[in-house]
Amino acid sequence: MKQVAVVFLMLISLIGNAQLRQLSIQHSASVKLPANARIQEIGSITLPFWDDFSTSTGLIDTTWWMPSSQAQIIPRPGNGILPPTVNVVTFDGVDANGNPYSPTDSDGPVDSLVSKPIDLTKVPASLRSTVYLSFFYQVKGLGNQPEPEDSLILYFKKKDGDWQKVWPIAPEKYATDPTIFTEKLINVPNDASYFYDGFQFKFQAFGRQNGWYDNWNVDYVYMDKRRSSGDNSYLDRAFTDLPSSFLKGYTAMPFNEFAANANHAQFLTNSSTWLRTLENIVQPVEFTAIITDTLNNVVLDTIANSEELVLFPKDIL
């Protein structure tokens, strides 16, 4: 089945009564790393694991991820092109503080995204073959194109501390279209070495270490039981971008300056965004726009199409 994202363009007119309503690297399949002494202090979480990064303001959510992770969520416009949801996590050659990993033009490990420890002993034995991790990834996006020798690797941490490479496994190759997010589903092997209290997974990028180079984007990371290799439909509708400014030619304007000009319409335009359904069947979608005075925390107006449903599919077979 070919995944084709079909998006819905929502235009909201904010003009009304002449007023402004404001609001080459070789990697072994198994890598031995030192045990993390902080695991016991941090504590384990349980399934389901889910993060679409949409609520982030720039830093990763430590509800799900280790604070030592260095991959970043770049504020709007971000680095993703039509992602599954608003915001993506981006891998490059600088850490979360903007510091390069090396002062020289060298290749090696760069950004990583490491899950918090997960207690997989809570998964019943009868369901352990149904535990899958899924995610969407995109090469380059709006950033820098990785070289053929660069890579983004997914590891699972075994009970003995080894980080086992689980994706990509030869002869699989990366998707190369920088405008498309590709979904992957990875089964957690039904083995005692993975089903323990403290299991972790890690995305590790390898590339140029002295700047914002060799970009990879990841979105919509989901891990749970009762899944299968074909479980790629989600009861979710999401915005893929924040609404654009309703000011023509500006992103912000002092209200007094706006109010002092009799020709208000010259400053206004339509606000637009993209909406996406993550289900594999046609679903109705309703939307509501709320206009808020954020200084006084007062809702000024609500625009809704609750009586008009917009139908659109995720997949074209």
State the CATH number of the domain containing residue 196.
2.60.120.260
Asked if residue 285 and residue 181 are part of one domain, the reply reads: no
| Range scoring the smallest mean pLDDT among 64-78, 146-160, 173-187, 281-295 | 281-295
Q: What is the pLDDT of residue 305?
A: 66
Contact indicator for 152, 91 with CB cutoff of 8 Å: yes
Tokens of 146: 């990785």
The reply to whether 235 falls in a domain is: no
> Is 187 inside a domain boundary?
yes
- Give a yes or no: residue 317 inside a domain: no
Residue 261 within any structural domain of the chain: yes
- For residue 172, pLDDT over 90 is answered with yes
- Looking at the structure, tell me whether residues 201 and 71 fall in a common domain: yes
Q: Between these two residues, 114 and 291, which has the higher pLDDT value?
A: 114
289 vs 48, more confident: 48
285 and 260 within one domain:
yes
Q: What is the pLDDT of residues 23-39, one digit of tens each?
A: 333 333 444 444 444 44
pLDDT of 68:
95
**pLDDT of res. 283:** 72
Does 202 have pLDDT greater than 50?
yes
pLDDT at 120: 99
Q: What is the pTM of this model?
A: 0.78
Q: How many domains is the chain partitioned into structurally?
A: 2
- pLDDT given for residue 41 in this prediction: 58
Going by pLDDT thresholds of 50, 70 and 90, the confidence category of residue 294 is: confident
In a domain, 29, yes or no: no
Residues 196, 136 share a domain: yes
What gap in Å lies between CA 131 and CA 279, rounded to an integer?
Answer: 20
Mean pLDDT of the chain: 82
- Would 84 be classed as within a structural domain? yes
Q: What is the pLDDT of residue 119?
A: 99
Instruction: State the maximum Cα–Cα separation within the chain, in Å, rounded to a whole number.
Output: 72
Residues 66 and 119 grouped into a single domain = yes
Residue 173 amino acid letter: K
Q: What is the mean pLDDT of residues 270-285?
A: 76
Same structural domain for residues 188 and 287? no
Q: Name the least confident of 19-23, 210-214, 224-228.
A: 19-23
User: Does a structural domain hold residue 292?
Assistant: yes
Is the pLDDT confidence value at 5 over 50?
Answer: no
One domain for residues 184 and 273: no
Q: What is the pLDDT of residue 312?
A: 42
Q: Show Cβ contacts of residue 225 under 8 Å, excluding neighbours closer than 6 positions.
A: 47, 123, 127, 128, 130, 131
250 and 187 together in one domain: no
Distance, CA of 92 to CA of 70 (rounded, Å): 9
- Per-residue confidence (pLDDT) for residue 303, from 0 to 100: 75
Q: What is the CA radius of gyration of the chain?
A: 22
pLDDT category of residue 133 using cuts at 50, 70 and 90: very high
Shared-domain flag, residues 12 and 53: no
Residue 234 within a domain: no
Q: Where a domain ends, among 224, 252, 270?
A: 224
Residues 122, 146 within the same domain: yes
Residue with more model confidence, 203 or 244: 203
* Residue 187 lies in domain: 34-224
Three-class DSSP labels, 18-80: CEECCCCCCCCCEEECCCCCCHHHHCCECCCEEECCCCCCCCCCCCCECCCCCCECCCCCCCC
Do 50 and 156 lie in one domain? The reply is yes
Q: Which of 171, 189, 224 is the last residue of a domain?
A: 224
> In terms of pLDDT, which residue wins out, 48 or 19?
48
Residues 261 and 217 in one domain: no
pLDDT at site 84: 92
